[in-house]
Chain A
């Protein structure tokens, strides 16, 4: 049973555009909602994370929007750059971030 689903599976955005990736989950016990960025052949790196007591968090060009009632959260990348081309995973967890449940992944390509 896949508890965490991302959409879209892949995304192509023009340089300077906005990339939006969505994550839907089923487990209402999740209390930590991070997004990870992974380049080919590398381990994932934490990009940004949010706790359920806030609905939005912004760090530079990256924003998380959280909708608790809909059991969804999304990643917005403003002014997308070719260097943002990577695979993005949401990975919600219980226990404040211990056991992460990785989503299905979204492959982002930013074109010039």
Chain B
């Protein structure tokens, strides 16, 4: 089945530094990937839609200059949290669609970010 891989699975960084999270579709091409954030015991909130070869579309309230998204190829999207602060500590999850239209979304296993 389709697999979406995220790296790293956990990262701890110091306040003020930047962190890059990778999302790869391992056995399929994904023109669109989605980035979510999930706080403990809460729901997933869509942050942005990542489109291969074009700019990401951010949801209302998400700072595009803070959460940089790059979808450089059909199998890789990256999320960079710039100038991280403790309140950015969260579980970041990406998803990708195999094909288009009504094919299901596949989710990665998430990245636990802790900012100290």
- Which residues in A have some Cβ–Cβ distance to B below 8 Å? 32, 34, 36, 41-46, 49, 89, 91, 96-105, 107
Q: A98-B97, A103-B43 are in contact. Are A43 and B104 (CB under 8 A)?
A: no
Specify the main secondary structure of chain A where it touches its partner: loop
Contact yes or no, B49 A99, CB < 8 A: yes
In the complex, what's the smallest C-beta–C-beta distance from A54 to chain B, in angstroms? 14
Stretch at the interface among B13-21, B64-72, B73-81, B106-114: B106-114
Given contacts A41-B112, A100-B34, 18 further A-B contacts (CB under 8 A): A32-B102, A42-B110, A43-B4, A43-B6, A43-B95, A43-B107, A43-B110, A44-B107, A49-B104, A91-B44, A97-B104, A98-B32, A98-B97, A99-B49, A100-B105, A102-B43, A102-B44, A102-B46
